[in-house]
Structure 1
Amino acid sequence: MVSNRLNKVHKQITKKKGKSPNLHENSRDTQRLQRAAGRDDKINRLGKVREKQNRTYLLRIKSFQQFTTEHSSTLSIPEIQAMIEDYLGRDDEELAKLKADRRPGRPPMTRQTLLEQNQVVEQGEYASGFWVPDLEDEANLRKLKEWNGQWANLATLKFARISKEGFKRDSSFPPKGMS
């Protein structure tokens, strides 16, 4: 995909040189095109990294959106905790299957190791406060049901951290540390 900035540079060069410019290998115009392409690649690369980092939170919020489809009223902390525990147990069947399929004495598969590490991280987060949409607020519950799955549209939602002991703290978007 060619970016807008790269198009602008290319357009400026063709305006100056003509329809089919023959550019020297180390000319100023070639260097301008290379810098524009480099900027474009950097922006695309950083965007992909950011998408990958945000994917876990998007999947989490989508699953809570699916959990709340049958609820029309706000939820209590124990109900939210039950949803969190259901969410945390989503990979248990696959993990058990991977453990059962492994021959004795063999090292675990990479997928099994990744799932176990993910579970440890999420259990640790749940002990200190699991980042979820605030489901005790009626307006927020309605916004969550209407959410279209885009990261940018999450800014309108309120979030909270629910701990294993049942404590609730307001949180911010995007999640940073223990906010």
Structure 2
Amino acid sequence: MPSRLSKVQKHITKKKGKNASLHENSRDTKRLQRASGRDDKLNRLTTMREKQNRPYLIRVKHFQTCCQDHDLAFPIDEIQAFISQYLARDDDELATLQAERRAGRPPSTRETLLKQNQVTEQGEYTSGFWLPDLQDVDNVKMLKEWDGKWASLGQLKFARVAKDGHARESIFPPKGLS
């Protein structure tokens, strides 16, 4: 998508000429400042949105790698094993951080974040862990062909699988306990 700033710059250059200088408080300078502000705001919002979506992309990517060798739907116990694998992905790093810390020292920021993330994900697992629906054969095939982009996740079906073995349909993007 072309930036609005480049359009404004092109228009001003066309009107004034290539070597024309602008006055500090001129209308054209203010137009350039507003266009630059709009572009900065859009870039900031885009990066924030990508940062928010990254954990879900990593989660779906994990389940995609888990089902690469299979073409059939998975029973609940295998899905729960995949979830347990996913929840244990940071255990090695957490153990290393705890071992490196000297006695009596507070935990590092990274260690605290990993622990908080694990607690949050364990809580989500007890109420219903959001993941692609692996009990549907067509959905497993589509997941295997997924290109890794957020926009193409809308084609997949999702489910929430609880620790006690209950599975229910969910929506994309995840919102609360939907």
TM-score, length-scaled by structure 2: 0.96
2:99 aligned with 1:100: yes
Deviation at 1:19, TM superposition (A): 2.2
SS at match of 1:51: helix
Alpha-carbon RMSD across the aligned residues, in angstroms, is 1.2
* Corresponding letter in the other structure for 1:70: D
Q: Which residue of structure 1 aligns with residue 164 of structure 2?
A: 165
Residue pairs, 1:60-75, within 5 angstroms: 60-75=59-74
Shift of 1:21: 2.6
CA contact (8 A) 1:162 1:168 kept: yes
Equivalent position of 2:8 in the other structure: 9
Q: Which amino acid aligns with 1:152?
A: A
Gaps of 5+ in 1: none
Cα shift at 1:22: 1.4
Structure 1 Cα separation of the partners of residues 151 and 137 of structure 2: 21
The alpha carbon displacement at 1:20 in A equals: 2.5
Distance 1:87 1:44 in 2: 31
Q: Deviations 1:42-92 (Å, cap 9, x if unpaired)?
A: 000010111110000000111110111122211011111110011001111
Counterpart-to-counterpart distance in 1, 2:88 and 2:76: 18
- Larger deviation: 15-24 or 121-130? 15-24
**Secondary structure at the residue paired with 1:69?**
coil
Task: Number of aligned residue pairs: give it.
Answer: 178
* Percent pairwise identity: 64
**AA of the residue aligned to 1:91:** D
Distance 2:92 2:145 in 1: 30
Q: Give yes or no for contact 1:3–1:40 (8 Å, CA) kept in 2.
A: no
The question of whether the paired residues in 2 share the 8 Å contact of 1:160 and 1:170 is answered with yes
| Distance in 1 of aligned mates of 2:19 and 2:142 | 53
Return the letter of the residue paired with 1:55: R
Query: Which contiguous aligned blocks of 4+ residues in structure 1 show a shift greater than 6 angstroms?
Result: none
Distance in 1 between the 2:31 and 2:22 partners?
11
CA contact (8 A) 1:132 1:159 kept: yes
| Partners of 1:144 and 1:125 in 2: CA distance | 22
- Secondary structure at the aligned position of 1:70 is classed as coil
Higher alpha-carbon deviation: 6-15 or 56-65: 6-15
| More displaced stretch, 61-70 vs 93-102 | 93-102
For residues 151-174 of structure 1, the C-alpha deviation after alignment (integer angstroms, 9 at most, x for no partner) is 111111110111111111111111
Task: Give the aligned partner of residue 18 of structure 2.
Answer: 19
